[in-house]
Amino acid sequence: MPLESKARRVRIYVNEGDHVGHQSVDMAILTFLRRHDAAGATVFRGVEGFSGEGEIQTSRLVDSLRELPIVIEWVDSVERVEQLLGPIKQMVTRGMITIDPTEVVLYAPHPVRRVSSHVTAADVMSREVATVAPEVPVRDVVELLLGKVYRAVPVVEGGVPVGIITNTDLVNRGGLGVRMELLPSLDTPELHAELERLGRTQKTAREVMTPRPVTVPTTAPLPRVADLMVRWRLKRLPVVDARGHLAGVVSRLDLLRTVAEGVTGDESAPRELGLNASMEIARVVRRDVPTVYPDTPIPEVMQAVFSTRLNRAVVVDHERRVLGLVTDAELLERVTPSLRPGALRSLMHRLPFVPRRAGQHEAEQHGMARTAAELMVTEVPTAMEHTLLGQALAPMLQGKEKLIAVVDGDRRLVGVVDRADILRGLAPP
């Protein structure tokens, strides 16, 4: 979790007599959070309390059963809470869970333990994985992924992964008109219309999935995982056990986070893992990054954002110093609704953005933003050309942005790197 960031505070109210299997519920939840690298959690034992049953429990009564209230408080990033909350809810058979927005002003954990040179896919993978059967309708797949941090789902038959459905599969074969991460940018009626249209196609997961997905065994070392991701340009891999059954999914983010934690705890850890974290970032930088000025009008900003697969444009001054970043999601959210259909078409098909009707020019003038300066986010992670890959990971993983602006000694833009570029540099040659 970032040292200073917006976060979520989760409080889980249970009783000390509750169990998950043979474990007390508090220990089961703590074990689960620790296994999935949560930032941290604390258990508080109450002195007195009562729940919906109305019976007061207190430690002051000599003959009390002492099944006192317990509160488990867990603070973590928004993304991690969303990822882990579902399995935790299944552990709480009676009680209450609340979530509050909070701001972390200081996060100074103990140094991360040394990463073993024998870390495998099983050690870093996500075990709580949403899956679908081959005959599930595509609309159901989209609804399953809507609002989630992940953008792919394994297709499983008899416990064995027979395919995987990615963002690209949903667009190219499933007929989805908008990438999954952009669906929240649609107004509610537009979103419902898109889901209804998908439902009418009656396509199933089997028809749109990528069959025979690349998988790794639970025992695969991290260099092997990194090599496969780079070679096949994949963001995630299903992990299978000795029987070929799905055991979890390892993502590019899982791997990068493990390396980042290794760098925090021990500079030699990534090398021991067989990953090259000591390469300079200049070796993997991409220099064909679209740029705009703060006063660039929205139509030109759209052209720049839609021109490459980055789906972003860096805002610079006339000395090429980085001022901010404009993303496709921010752009679609802030433009007037009448321009959104044309903008989506341009984005999905890499076409020039041209208003289709004369009336749209007038609507454009009344949009929520008119220039890049009104759209851009100003918190852009940056790194110098000589920064090592391992050192660059921390700012990338702390913020929402998936790329880093690389600058020279005068803070002028040289290029950018994204997660794929970082992984390509880390992977063994």
What does 54-103 look like in DSSP terms, one character per residue? --EEESS-TT-----EEEEEEEE-HHHHHHHHHHHHHH-SSSEEEEEEEE
The sign of the torsion formed by the CA atoms of 330, 335, 339, 340 equals positive
Distances (CA, A) of 57 to 13, 15, 26, 47, 97: 14, 10, 18, 8, 19
| Average pLDDT, rounded, for the chain | 81
Q: Is the pLDDT of residue 97 over 80?
A: yes
**pLDDT on residue 150:** 80
**pLDDT at 179 (0 to 100):** 80
Structural domain boundaries in the chain: 5-104, 121-272, 282-426
Query: Which of residues 124 and 61 earns the better pLDDT score?
Result: 124
> Residue 413: which pLDDT band, with cuts at 50, 70 and 90?
very high
Strand partners of residue 133: none
Contact assessment for residue 8 and residue 76, using Cβ atoms and an 8 Å cutoff: yes
pLDDT for 385 equals 92
Residue 304 CA neighbour count, 13 Å, CB half = 23
381 has a pLDDT exceeding 50 = yes
Taking the C-alpha atoms of residue 231 and residue 351, their distance in angstroms, rounded to an integer, is: 29
CATH 3.40.50.300 applies to domain 121-272? no
Lowest mean pLDDT among 230-234, 256-260, 344-348: 344-348
CA triplet 240, 243, 245: central angle to 5 degrees?
45
Architecture of domain 5-104: 2-Layer Sandwich (3.30)
> How high is the pLDDT of residue 429?
67
Per-residue pLDDT, 16: 82
**pLDDT single digits (tens) 279-298:** 889 999 999 899 999 999 88
pLDDT score at 357: 45
Predicted confidence at residue 113, as pLDDT, reads 38
The answer to whether the pTM exceeds 0.75 is no
Quick: pLDDT tens for 302-356: 888 877 778 899 999 999 999 999 988 777 666 545 455 555 555 544 444 444 4
Q: Are strands 413-418 and 403-407 parallel, antiparallel or unpaired?
A: antiparallel
For the residues 347-374, what does the mean pLDDT come to? Answer: 53
The pLDDT of residue 328 is 80
User: How many whole angstroms separate alpha carbon 327 and alpha carbon 303?
Assistant: 12
Contacts of 305 (CB under 8 A, 6+ apart): 290, 311, 312, 313, 326, 327, 328, 331, 347
Confidence label for 395 from pLDDT (cuts 50, 70 and 90)? confident
- What is the rounded distance in angstroms from the CA atom of residue 318 to the CA atom of residue 338? 32
Pick the CATH number of 282-426 from 2.40.30.10, 3.40.140.10, 3.40.640.10, 3.10.580.10: 3.10.580.10
pLDDT at 340: 52
Query: pLDDT of 69-87, one tens digit each?
Result: 899 999 988 878 888 888 8
Token couple for 77: 């990033």
Q: Do domains 121-272 and 282-426 have the same CATH topology?
A: yes
